Amino acid sequence: MEAVYTRTNTLNGNLLGFCPGCMHGTTFKLIGEVLEELGVDSKASCVLAIGCCGLAQEAVSYDLATAPHGRAAAAATGLKRTNPDTIVFTYQGDGDLASIGLAETIHAANRGENITVIFINNGIYGMTGGQLAPTTLVGMKATTAPGGRDPKQHGYPLHMAEIINQLVAPVYIERVSCNNPANVRKAKNAIRKAFQNQIDGKGYSFVEVMTSCPTNWGLSPEKSLKFLEENMMKEFPLGVIRDNR
């Protein structure tokens, strides 16, 4: 019988290790499928962030190095500039990309590095157990903001896609989600475009993926999905923010 749905060859069968209902797994699957479909999985190198994404490092079959917390875009700069034929992407959470690594994120984007940046925004620090992230919603509870995010103390959520959109160099910026099949398809198209741009030598592409963290949101996977759709996606609306041809 012909298999109509198979696992991407870029996942080697090892446990991804994410919590039930977490969308890191879906995102890795989409990246893998895109790399294979574009025929570049054997040319790909991932510069992985510090965060829950580390749980995937043994489960993917492409080349990979973990960068210091927040510095993936700088490491990717060094890698891509010296290996222009390698397809280089970073995979970073919100603490990594938008807090500790804000400078590296902005400057790599501003230089227009020919890399693909996949940004997982779950509004919380997953790996360390639910601390306040730069993207945590106003009023949303975190272990280090037990009363919820208070703008007087913590300011407002950082909109990274929009901030990067202030820069001249980036060629493609889109915010997507994996909350339903239609959006998963859109997310995959966005990821494909972000890699195609790199293959074509166009420059910097940024895909922000809105995801849930049931474990640290303290919600069931179903309720997390609802929170993602009703709250997170309201603050961070999906869509193409820039697409330079």
Q: Which is nearer to ligand SF4, 116 or 216 (CB)?
A: 216
Residues 73 and 90: beta-carbon distance below 8 Å: yes
- What angle (nearest 5°) sits at the alpha carbon of residue 188, between those of residues 126 and 33? 90
Alpha-carbon torsion (203, 9, 15, 220), positive or negative: positive
Q: Which does 214 bind (CB under 5 to 8 A by kind): ligand SF4, ligand TPP, other proteins, none?
A: ligand SF4
* CA–CA separation, 89 and 198 (whole Å): 9
* CA–CA separation, 65 and 25 (whole Å): 18
Instruction: List the x/- string, 46-75, binding to other proteins by CB under 8 A.
Output: -x------x--x---xxxxxxxx--x--xx
Among 40, 56, 74, 133, binds ligand TPP (CB under 6 A): 133
Among 29, 215, 225, 227, binds ligand SF4 (CB under 6 A): 215
Among 19, 107, 148, 235, binds other proteins (CB under 8 A): 107
Q: Which does 22 bind (CB under 5 to 8 A by kind): ligand TPP, other proteins, ligand SF4, none?
A: ligand SF4
* CA–CA separation, 93 and 53 (whole Å): 8
Q: Does 51 bind ligand TPP (CB under 6 A)?
A: yes
Residue nearest to ligand TPP as judged by C-beta position: 93
Q: Does 144 bind other proteins (CB under 8 A)?
A: no
Q: Which positions lie near other proteins, rule CB under 8 A?
A: 9, 40-45, 47, 54, 57, 61-68, 71, 74-83, 85-87, 103-104, 107
Q: Which positions lie near ligand SF4, rule CB under 6 A?
A: 18-19, 22, 24, 52, 122, 126, 213-216
